[in-house]
Amino acid sequence: MAVRQIYRLNPQDFGQPKGIGISVLYSNNTSVFNSTVTTKDQIKSNLINYVLTNKGERLYDPNFGGDVRRAIFDANDDSTFDVIATRLETEILQYVPNIILQSIIIKRAPDENLVNIIINYQLNQQNQQVVVNVETRGLINLIR
């Protein structure tokens, strides 16, 4: 009996690239939403979206979100941020299962009202990094 060979084709190999999702990172283009055309960019947007969403903000999935902005106003000590990092590790693997999470580092600058979250992960044997700065004044800076 012959064994059937499985082929995996990339849809980007067939002409004009198609958008696979919406990017969280905005540029100065004239379009309102920027499409992502690679899995790498879409996973980065998914991670940023997860970290910046509070629980209860997403319809039909009230458990989605990192609750980081809400946690900024909790006690500003190492144990609070250790709990946040542990929760993020567990939940990111649930909502973004196609990555290998290497580390989550949370740095805080209480004098500047800033929390810096660094997520190191691996996708297709390539190391990637997402850095999200969350300020208590409601400003959010994304570093690519």
Q: pLDDT for 35-84, tens place per residue?
A: 888 888 888 889 988 988 989 999 999 999 988 877 776 766 778 888 88
pLDDT confidence tier of residue 144, bands split at 50, 70 and 90: very low
- The torsion defined by the Cα of 132, 21, 60 and 142, in degrees rounded to 10, comes to 10
Predicted confidence at residue 39, as pLDDT, reads: 85
Q: Residue ranges of the domains in the chain? A: 18-25+34-143
Query: CA-CA distance, 114 to 81, in Å (whole number)?
Result: 13
| pLDDT above 80: residue 137 | no
In the DSSP assignment, the letter for residue 136 is T
Domain 18-25+34-143 of CATH type 3.30.43.10: no
This prediction's pTM: 0.77
Pairing mode, strands 126-135 and 114-123: antiparallel
**Residue with more model confidence, 77 or 93:** 93
